Structure 1
């Protein structure tokens, strides 16, 4: 059986008919509710927060965010903003008069919000759609990069995100998680019911700052089956190796770049990058 994302782009697949079927299916409502509650438990929000719902669809997850604390999920009720690429899905959300603000946007083009806007973010069954290129001018890696870089910027320091998705295989799982790590996130993969047809994969993300300092173990501590992605450590080592701005190595590298562009630069000497004493 083919996967929906392998047949059509999401804005075409979720037309009026498919969006209506998705929203009214009791089975899908139950699955969506369970996954949203699971994502909220991984976010561990202790007070009402501003949450971004990525791929919000017809607002099934948003209704749970608005009702949190009333339905037994601690920390809410939350204020949320959602965006989706399907205008049909958003139209149904408007019909239902969901409490969140809605935007029509493509996650593969980035996250269109001011830096540091959100306390947290969730995404349910959406980001696997980014693993397909919709034209010869795009690539899955480019779409994932724009998405995770935009998401990282939109979250406050110490913020968290949980993205539930259906990876096609281990290669796709690695592609998604690696893109998140390259964007700066601390990341861990958690799989519920592994090896079964009910398996659910959650990418748990943290933004450095506060008491977490980007360490994903602060979010998923004590949970079995968590795979803390070690690319984060590699990225940290690479950053440590980078030349400090203003150092001799940094200046020489800049001069080499300028020379390659055909510009005239002063010759390098023993005084290049020298630290001068403070003059009183």
Structure 2
């Protein structure tokens, strides 16, 4: 199967039909959620403190929903108008920006406490127009991203490098822009579970986080089980439960949005229909 970035530019590939198909695919949604949760984990954000995050290549807001579920505020950036249209229909809580990441991040210096990106970075390695030069576009992107992050922030990119040369191209331009860090490969010995995360830091020579699936202990406990255990330890509401729904509704009220009144039926599991 051909890589999507070789079929058409992202703003054309992700048309209205593809955007809806992407957002309605339960398998894609589950994978997107898992990868974003892992990316947030690699950001090492302060606990119990909401942060202001940038979601690069936010698409229809699947990863943004993960950020808001964890109590953070976010801004999404994407080049596909159709994808952003689906995000608006889904009533995501983040602010949305139609923009080409290869032309830079159009935000003020020091705006964000961190940034995440799921399945978007590899698109910058492809020249969709005669004027596109991947090296220049990558450097423009990373240098402007570096500027709009606070000096204690991290940026984590889940991406699909085609080969080692492409991975070297990406990391070299990130380091040239001022970042520290490198690539963390989760489950490196698995063909299906293997995931690449580019972890970038704005300052200090801090060791890279440990990858998942590199020893017997991490292989014996699934990543999903670890996430649920950590959430329970931190006292966070189980997703889709009554407390989670009430917390989300309260956030929407604070933002001035219209929300249905709470009742004894809020969050109650409905009977199966025959």
Q: Which band: TM-score by shorter chain?
A: 0.7 to 0.9
Q: Counterpart in 2 of 1:6?
A: 6
Q: Secondary structure at the match of 2:192?
A: coil
Q: Counterpart in 2 of 1:148?
A: 142
Q: Counterpart in 1 of 2:185?
A: 191
Instruction: Provide the rounded CA distance (Å) in 2 between the counterparts of 1:35 and 1:223.
Output: 12
Instruction: Provide the rounded CA distance (Å) in 2 between the counterparts of 1:31 and 1:173.
Output: 22
Q: Counterpart in 2 of 1:220?
A: 209
Q: Counterpart in 2 of 1:138?
A: 132
Instruction: Provide the rounded CA distance (Å) in 1 between the counterparts of 2:211 and 2:187.
Output: 17
How far the C-alpha of 1:221 sits from its partner, in A, is: 5.8
Aligned-residue CA RMSD (Å): 1.4
Q: Counterpart in 2 of 1:29?
A: 29
Q: Secondary structure at the match of 1:220?
A: coil
Assess, with a 3 A threshold, how the Cα gap between structure 1 residues 171 and 117 changes in structure 2: closer, same or farther.
Answer: same
The structure whose Rg is larger is 1
Instruction: Provide the rounded CA distance (Å) in 2 between the counterparts of 1:85 and 1:119.
Output: 22
TM (norm. structure 2) is: 0.75
How many matched pairs? 211
Q: 2:64 aligns with which of 62, 65, 71?
A: 62
Q: Is the 8 A contact 2:53 2:75 kept in 1?
A: yes
How far the C-alpha of 1:193 sits from its partner, in A, is: 1.9
The residue correspondences of 1:68-107 to structure 2 (distance < 5 A) are 68=70, 77-107=71-101
Instruction: Provide the rounded CA distance (Å) in 2 between the counterparts of 1:140 and 1:38.
Output: 27
TM (norm. structure 1) is: 0.73
Q: Secondary structure at the match of 2:77?
A: strand
Q: 1:119 aligns with which of 113, 116, 119?
A: 113
In structure 2, runs of 5+ residues without a counterpart are 215-274
Q: Counterpart in 2 of 1:38?
A: 38
Assess, with a 3 A threshold, how the Cα gap between structure 1 residues 142 and 23 changes in structure 2: closer, same or farther.
Answer: same
